[in-house]
Structure 1
Amino acid sequence: MYSLWDALIIGIVEGLTEFLPVSSTGHMILTQSLLGIPESDEMMKTFEVVIQLGAILAVVLIYWKRIFRLFGLAGREEQRGPKLNLLHIAIAIVPALGLAFIGRHFIKDYLFSPTTVLIGLVLGGVFLIIGERQQPKVTATDMDQLTYKQTLFIGIAQCLSLWPGFSRSGATIAGGMLAGASRGAAADFTFLIAIPVMVAATGYELLDSYKVLLSGSMAFFAVGFVVSFIVALLAVVTFIKLVSRLSLTYFAYYRFAAAVLYAIWLFSGK
C-alpha cells in the first residue's frame, strides 16, 4: 500500500504538468519510477485516472462560461458575433480519439516506459521550437476566430501526443501556432478540447478498473484528486496569464534538461 505522501507528490506532478506543454504522462511515468513504483501496478494506474479527473474539473471550472456558450446556454450578449461551435471541437478531437482507440493496446504494451518517455520529451521539445519559430501569419488571435481547417490541423497534431512524453497540450499549442493561431488562442483551444478528450480517456479507463478503486484506500485516492484539482487550477490560471508573452522555447529547454538529467539517473544504475 502506498502512503499519502506518494498521493501528494504524484497529485502535485499531475496538476502541474497536465495542461502545460511538458507532458504529464511522461512526468507521471518518471515520477513513479523515481518513487520505485512498478509500471504494471494496477492500483497506481487507477489512481492516475482519478487524479486526471481532478485536473479536468479544474479546467471545467475555469471555462464553464465557454462550455455553456458552446451548448447555447449563454446570455444573448455572449452569443453575438463569430464563435466557436461544437463542430470545431469534434473536428479537433476525433483524430486522436480514433487513433487512440485503434492503437490503445500497442500504446499501452510498447510505449509506456521511461525510455520512450525520454524520446518523447526530446521530440516534443523540438516540435515546440518548430511551432514557435515557423509560425505563419496569425489569422486567429482568439479561439472564436479559428476555422474548421485550423482545428483539423490541431486535431492531427494532437495525435502526436499518443506517444508518452510528447505532451498533448504541447502538440496542440504548437500545432495551432503552425496553423496560424496566436499562442493565446491555441492555448485556450487546447485547454477547452482537453475536457472531452480526457473525459473520454479517463472514463474508459475507469470503467476498466473501477473494482480496483473500490478495493483501494479512499483516503489515498481523495488526497490525489484534491491536490491535482487545486494545483491544476493554479497552473492553468497562471499559464493563461503568461502565455501571450512566454515563448514555447522555454518549455522546450526544460524538456531537454529534464530528459538529460533523467537519462543520467536511469542509465547510471539508479
Structure 2
Amino acid sequence: MLVLPLALLLTATPPALDSWATRVCPPSKAEPESNVEMKLMEQRRAECLRKAMNKALGRVILPLKKSRPDAFTQWMALQADYDRWMAEACAAAEEANWVDLTTGERSMGTGYGFTESQCLQRHHAWRGFYADAWARGERNPLAPLSPALEGPAAEARHAWNAYRERVRQTAARAPTQAVDPARPSRKLSRNDWKPYLERLERVLAGPELLATHQCTLVPTPSPDCVQRFADSLFAQMEAPQPPGSSEGGP
C-alpha cells in the first residue's frame, strides 16, 4: 500500500490549510525503515494535529464558558459530534481498503491503520485550521477557500455514495451465517454487514448535520453556509479504494 505524507495528501486543498498543518506539526524528515515505523510516524502526526486542533478549539470555546454559557454548551456539543463523526469516517475509510465488494471477504495486512491515521490527520488539520481562524476573529474562513473545495467535495460525495450502493449490493447477497468467524480474513455474513452499513450511513449524513449545527453558531451565516461547510468536510474524505474494485463493477 502506498502511504503518502500529509503534505502530499493536502495538495488538492487550499495552501493555507497545508501551511497551518505544517506550522503546528512539522512533518518528520526521518525515513522510516519499516511499515511498523511508518505507521508509528503517521499515528504520531495524527496525535500532534489532534492536540493542535484541541488547542485552537480551546481558544474559541473556553472564553465562552462565562461570557456566553449557551454558546459554550453548543460548541462543546458540536465538537463532541464532530469527534464521533471523524472517528467513524476514518474507520470507514480504513475498512474500505480491506473489504472486497466482489467476493464479500474481509482481509487484513501489515498496512492496516495507515489510511485511518492519514484520514485523522486531514480532519484534525481542517478542524484546527477552521478553529484557529475563528479564534482570530474570522467568522467566515470558508469564503475564500470554497472554490478550491467544491471539486474535491463533489468527487468525494459521488465516490462514497457509489461505494455505499456497492456495499448494499454485496450485503444483500452475503451468507446468513458467518464462515469461520474467528479468522481475520473471511467472508462477511449479513449480520456483519449490518453495522458496517449503519456506520456508512452515519458517515455520509454527518457533514450536512455538522454543517447545520456549525452554521447556527455563525453570527451572520451566508445563505450557502451549510453547503460550504459540508463541502469542506467531504473534501477531506478521499475516495474509497476497496480491493477487487473495477470500473462498473458490482
Instruction: Mark yes or no: TM-score above 0.5.
Output: no
Q: Which structure features the higher share of helix residues?
A: 1
> Larger Cα Rg: Structure 1 or Structure 2?
2
TM-score by length of 1: 0.29
